[in-house]
């Protein structure tokens, strides 16, 4: 079995670890209404009908122990978009 040159040995471990991959991608949701960003970074959104509009309920992205809500009036154009961020290593 051939010996690794001393210079190559320190590179062998980082290269082997790099092949292991990284964290899984992080998926979050954002809400835009009338062209303005209303919510970003939440993990889930529950949509309930109310008075012809909707109430969006979600875990607070800044404080996971709390929840928040956003009321959307009837006819107000809103979109919910899934954002996928690459995982770190």
Instruction: Summarize pLDDT for 30-54 with one digit per residue, the tens.
Output: 999 999 999 999 999 999 999 899 9
Structural domain includes residue 11: no
SS3 15: helix
Which range marks the domain in which residue 56 is found? 22-85
Domain count, the chain: 1
Structural domain includes residue 56: yes
CB 38 within 8 A of CB 81: no
Structural domain includes residue 81: yes
Structural domain includes residue 1: no
Give Cα separations from 40 to 4, 18, 25, 52, 59 (angstroms): 50, 31, 16, 24, 11
SS3 82: strand
Structural domain includes residue 8: no
Mean pLDDT for the chain overall: 79
pLDDT, mean of residues 70-80: 93
Structural domain includes residue 6: no
pLDDT score of 30 = 95
Give Cα separations from 11 to 14, 17, 35, 39, 71 (angstroms): 6, 10, 49, 44, 55
SS3 40: strand
Structural domain includes residue 72: yes
Asked if the model's pLDDT at residue 70 lies above 60, the reply is: yes
């Amino acid at each position: 079995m051939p010996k690794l040159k001393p210079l190559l040995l320190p590179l062998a471990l980082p290269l082997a670890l790099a092949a292991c991959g990284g964290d899984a991608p992080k998926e979050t949701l954002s809400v835009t209404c009338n062209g303005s960003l209303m919510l970003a970074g939440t993990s889930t959104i529950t949509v309930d009908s109310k008075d012809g509009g909707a109430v969006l309920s979600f875990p607070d992205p800044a404080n996971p122990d709390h929840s928040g809500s956003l009321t959307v009036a009837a006819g107000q154009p809103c979109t919910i978009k899934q954002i996928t961020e690459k995982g770190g290593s």
